Structure 1
């Protein structure tokens, strides 16, 4: 069995971060989301991975390399435009050959891994096996309709009037039968080849499509709220470790990781929190569920429930929370007089200012 990991999307919901970074490489607990997926695949025993990439190929390839760091053999498959999940299968046709495969969306996060799902599929070998979870607003997802016995009878992508509250989780398992389905597809109203349409074709052709409703944790990390929630979840399982420097005037409370080269001076850090390698926290406060990236500076500032990407600095700011701060950002207070906010913001930015 092979794996197909889709990492070619533009990440519009995470802009402006994704104007300069691949959405799959935005870190959770200082580790890119994509890495969690690759680790989950490696745990199943699968070794061959086709990684579908787009305009951010160079960045993803620099981070993942040949896959050996994960115990994988990675082949990069170029997708010229994000034309749908089924289009990712289409361009991977030669790579996948006649192998069964698991398709994993590179910006998804699933607690507990997929080993059990893969073993069940290998044992039963339906044409397709999907994972479902209940969501509050199914209009944002592919939605499954089940009959009274729990069998999948219909699928629809982002329906205006959903027939259930069961959304497709971003992990799918297929036999080679899916290639015939994909070859029959026409672009949807969104201009994309929808994987839901391919699975619907399998159903209508009479091929078995199995599903399981997961009760564990799943997130599509496509927006800031979900990124922060996944960061919180990962940090919940943090094992405390002090590899950097913490002076006697500082206080660490709870599960805190201070990476090598990091410095905490005259500061208070309340875990779970991680201070990345080479970062510096001076005369500041870092609160729970916060990830400070490599080589960041937090000086005379307070931050909580946030993600700060590498090389950013926050100086002299009284309180920041529920924030995602990009690479190489500078946050400083405005001058005392006149009282005014000075902003330099990229496209698609969102700012909330306390009066």
Structure 2
């Protein structure tokens, strides 16, 4: 999660992308919660690979995420964007035993338990345009026979979604280090798919895993959509979505919505698919399909498909008009 999230600006100018909220909790927290759920056993350690510029507050928040899940947290740094293989190797001290690797700009819906007896599992999803993703090619038995990074001519439509399981973390580390020691790059970076190809050639048997739904957090629109879908997941699980200290006055809440502590909503219609961060006030407004962060004040607004940051004050002027017969206003 060491990327600077430039496609999510202006939000990532002050908050690292993996700490932006989805259904009221940081993206990375939602991700590790789901990984812990599918592991079906205690996760001893959660290692975060970040950029040094994220700062002490971010590091403290990440360690608290790990602690909340009963794990030890560990911070590693990737100072330069040298590729996925390099990023994972930055956490080399944590590559031991059973390891799950995940990139923190993707979320998923899944209903299975991890099979730790397999050498490796690569989670994939069939997509229409695989040119911006690593893909896998399968044989007739459904075994992975080839890994290709961002193919510009069609190889396969099974895109790697950024979640992997390895039975032997030390063996993965060995193959990542081999790429760096021999300066083996693809498209100018050290790619995990090259290490996977080498491991396969040495006899590692990789299986594919399927998730029910794969969600991206790469830009504003897809992040708002991911928030919508994740609220639906939480509603299906009957997870609590409204804090007891939230105040709802003369307002309609159309579920599912996440409403955090000390939120005040008055004379408004909120939802569906809205996440409202702690301490935010919404007044005389209609808000649907939005992410609103903490301690903001919104008044006289009609918002849709929007992201509002922290400590925003936005008070629009209500209209005072005189409209004659047969006018059309749009």
Task: Give yes or no for TM over 0.5.
Answer: yes
Cα distance in 2, alignment partners of residues 235 and 95 from structure 1: 32
Equivalent pair of 2:110/2:211 in contact (CA under 8 Å)? no
**What SS class does the counterpart of residue 311 from structure 1 fall into?**
coil
Cα distance in 2, alignment partners of residues 51 and 256 from structure 1: 27
Which position in structure 2 is the counterpart of 1:345? none
Q: Tell me by how many angstroms 1:35 deviates.
A: 1.1
- 1:32-59 Cα offsets, whole Å, 9 max, x none, are 1111222234342221222212122424
Cα distance in 1, alignment partners of residues 187 and 264 from structure 2: 46
- 1:46-77 Cα offsets, whole Å, 9 max, x none, are 21222212122424322233532210011111
Cα distance in 2, alignment partners of residues 146 and 57 from structure 1: 42
1:167 corresponds to which of 137, 159, 163: 159
Q: Tell me by how many angstroms 1:335 deviates.
A: 8.9
**1:151 lines up with 2:143 in the alignment:** yes
Equivalent pair of 1:14/1:223 in contact (CA under 8 Å)? yes
Equivalent pair of 1:130/1:171 in contact (CA under 8 Å)? yes
Cα distance in 2, alignment partners of residues 162 and 188 from structure 1: 21
- Aligned runs of 1:1-355 on 2, under 5 Å? 7-43=1-37, 44=39, 45-54=42-51, 55-65=53-63, 67-96=66-95, 98-112=96-110, 116-117=113-114, 120=115, 122-124=116-118, 126=119, 128-174=120-166, 175=168, 176-185=170-179, 186=183, 188=185, 190-203=187-200, 205-238=201-234, 257-317=241-301, 319-333=302-316
Q: Tell me by how many angstroms 1:271 deviates.
A: 1.1
- 1:68-127 Cα offsets, whole Å, 9 max, x none, are 22100111112212322211222222332x4332112223212236x623xx2x313x2x
Cα distance in 1, alignment partners of residues 36 and 240 from structure 2: 28
Cα distance in 2, alignment partners of residues 104 and 80 from structure 1: 19
Q: Give the RMSD, CA atoms, in angstroms.
A: 2.6
Cα distance in 1, alignment partners of residues 230 and 191 from structure 2: 31
Cα distance in 2, alignment partners of residues 151 and 324 from structure 1: 41
Cα distance in 1, alignment partners of residues 6 and 184 from structure 2: 20
Distance 1:100 1:57, change over 3 A: farther
**What SS class does the counterpart of residue 65 from structure 1 fall into?**
helix
Distance 1:238 1:150, change over 3 A: closer
TM-score normalised to structure 2 length: 0.84
Cα distance in 2, alignment partners of residues 101 and 258 from structure 1: 34
Aligned residues: 310
Distance 1:238 1:152, change over 3 A: closer
Structure 2 unaligned segments of length 5 or more: list them: 321-328
